[in-house]
Amino acid sequence: MWVARKFWPAWAEWVTFTLTIRRTAPGAATLEGSIENHAWTGTPEHAAPPVTCDGDVLDVVVAQPAGGLYLSPTVSFNGTSWSVREHRCRAWQRYRLDHFTGALDPVRETLTTTNSDGGRDQEEPYVFRRVRCL
User: Alpha carbon 73 to chain centroid distance?
Assistant: 20
How confident is the prediction along the chain (134 residues), in pLDDT tens digits per residue? 999 999 999 989 999 999 999 999 999 999 999 999 999 999 999 889 988 888 888 999 999 999 999 999 999 999 999 999 998 888 788 899 999 999 999 999 999 999 999 888 999 999 999 999 87
Task: Tell me the sheet residues that pair with 75.
Answer: 70, 102
Phi, psi of 48 (to 5 degrees): -100, 155
For residue 79, how many other CB atoms are within 10 A of its CB? 23
Q: Is 88 helix (H, G, I), strand (E, B) or coil?
A: coil
d(CA 47, CA 55): 19
Task: Tell me the sheet residues that pair with 121.
Answer: none
CA-nearest of 110, 111, 86, 114 to 98 is 114
d(CA 24, CA 132): 18
AA identity, residue 41:
T
CA-nearest of 74, 85, 80 to 99 is 80
Q: How many residues does the chain have?
A: 134
The pLDDT score that the predictor gives to residue 52 is 86
Please state the domain extents for the chain.
2-130
